[in-house]
Amino acid sequence: MAKKALIVTGKNSSKVNGGALKDVTDVLGGELSVSYEIFDKVVENPPVDNVVEGGLAGLDCDFIVGIGGGSPIDAAKAIGVLIKNGTENAYEKLYESKGLKSIPIIAIPTTAGTGTETTPYAILTDHKNETKRNYSPRVFPEYALMDVRYFLYMPLHVRNNTCIDALTHLIESYMTVNATPPYCEYIALEGIRMWGGTVKEALKDETMSKEAMTVFMNASSLAGMAISQTGTSLPHGMGYPLTYYNKIAHGLANGVVMKAYLEMCKDEEKVSKIVDNLGFDSLEQFGGFLQSIIGTLDITEDEIDKYSESLMANAGKLKNHPDPVTLDDIKTIYRKAVKGGVTI
């Protein structure tokens, strides 16, 4: 029988988004009579220091309830590893050790998009390497409890960002070398179909209906299952520096290079399938749609050089792409995102 829970959440949203935090404390403190500690200091794109603070707050806890968007749930996974293995030398434990386990995690997402409730990943800000990067352990939440009520409170900018994040997970998963048929391909394509139907239509409105949000929530979780098997690819690797240095939200940072990335992909049949299943007539039309949501990208040639080199050092992302990739390929994608398909 669990004795004490650590609730890991962000500063504010779980207190106001339809009662996510209160629902959990009511159940723990009420019928379950389980004591708990609340760590409500997770910042967006959490760095290692933030996670260590959470670990120190919960050293005597034996399971974690993570409530929030990708940032608090990823933080919960990393905090779980530190509680299990000690908070000293946290950077080495999180980034350089293999196979470390966590105390059990229950994930309660309040944004749809990252799919972190169904993935073993935790993306932390790595100030040492000036980027965002997945940690080394692989921790799947034991349970994911999903209630669409909480998602309805997402502000428009968060919803648009997370919608694009889910879409990029689906597309990148489908295009990776790891997307073996039938399961991986099927999951990704099914998510793309769901996104291209209900979700795409609902994005045109400021508020999303509960029905549309439910489809979005499920497409996002499917996307998480897809990338759990295949990983993500070049757009995610190219988006990390845009988030680290230019403060572009995670999903938009991947989405802004998506059209140019697909133009570079050699498997035209797969690219056509994506465009068809999204319900667009052409890649051009898809690019225009993305642009209408994301707006424009404004980075310098020097930044393009630096970010392209950073991607070329990211062996994990390069190996997921089916073809050899050169530094010039990556620079071309960034330049097109600035000048062409999606300009700022």
Contacts with ligand NAP, residue ranges (CB under 6 A): 10-14, 17, 44-45, 68-72, 74, 110-111, 113-116, 119, 121-123, 132, 150-151, 153-155, 158, 161-162, 165, 250
Instruction: Rank residues 236 and 321 by Cβ distance to ligand NAP and give the closer one.
Output: 236
Q: At what angle do helices 156-175 and 210-230 cross, to 10 degrees?
A: 40
Min dist CB 56 to Zn ion, Å, is 28
Instruction: Rank residues 221 and 308 by Cβ distance to ligand NAP and give the closer one.
Output: 221
Tokens (6 digits) for 294: 């994301």
Only one residue has tokens 């889910």, namely 166
Instruction: Rank residues 154 and 260 by Cβ distance to ligand NAP and give the closer one.
Output: 154
Distance in angstroms (rounded) separating the CA atoms of residues 161 and 138: 25
Distance in angstroms (rounded) separating the CA atoms of residues 225 and 218: 11
Q: HSE-up of 121 (CA within 13 Å, CB side)?
A: 22
Min dist CB 109 to ligand NAP, Å, is 8
Instruction: Rank residues 110 and 329 by Cβ distance to ligand NAP and give the closer one.
Output: 110
Query: Which one of 40, 74, 165, 329 is in contact with Zn ion (CB under 5 A)?
Result: 165
Instruction: Rank residues 58 and 68 by Cβ distance to Zn ion and give the closer one.
Output: 68
Size of the site for Zn ion (CB under 5 A): 1
| Interface of this chain with Zn ion, residues 219 to 258, rule: CB under 5 A | none
Instruction: Rank residues 139 and 278 by Cβ distance to ligand NAP and give the closer one.
Output: 139
Distance in angstroms (rounded) separating the CA atoms of residues 53 and 68: 18
- The partner residues of 35 in beta bridges, in order of sequence, read 4
Min dist CB 258 to ligand NAP, Å, is 15
Residue nearest to Zn ion (CB): 165
Tokens (6 digits) for 228: 């759990």
Asked if residue 74 binds Zn ion (CB under 5 A), the reply is no
Contact 334, 299 (CB under 8 A): yes
Alpha helices for the chain (secondary structure H):
13-16, 20-29, 48-57, 70-85, 90-95, 148-151, 156-175, 183-194, 200-202, 210-230, 234-246, 250-255, 258-264, 268-278, 283-294, 301-312, 315-320, 327-339
With CB under 5 to 8 Å by kind, the binding choice for 182 among Zn ion, ligand NAP, none is none
With CB under 5 to 8 Å by kind, the binding choice for 162 among Zn ion, ligand NAP, none is ligand NAP
With CB under 5 to 8 Å by kind, the binding choice for 255 among Zn ion, ligand NAP, none is none
Min dist CB 245 to ligand NAP, Å, is 15
* Angle, vertex CA 231, rays to CA 227 and CA 233, nearest 5: 115
Instruction: Rank residues 8 and 164 by Cβ distance to Zn ion and give the closer one.
Output: 164
The contact set with Zn ion (CB under 5 A) reads 165
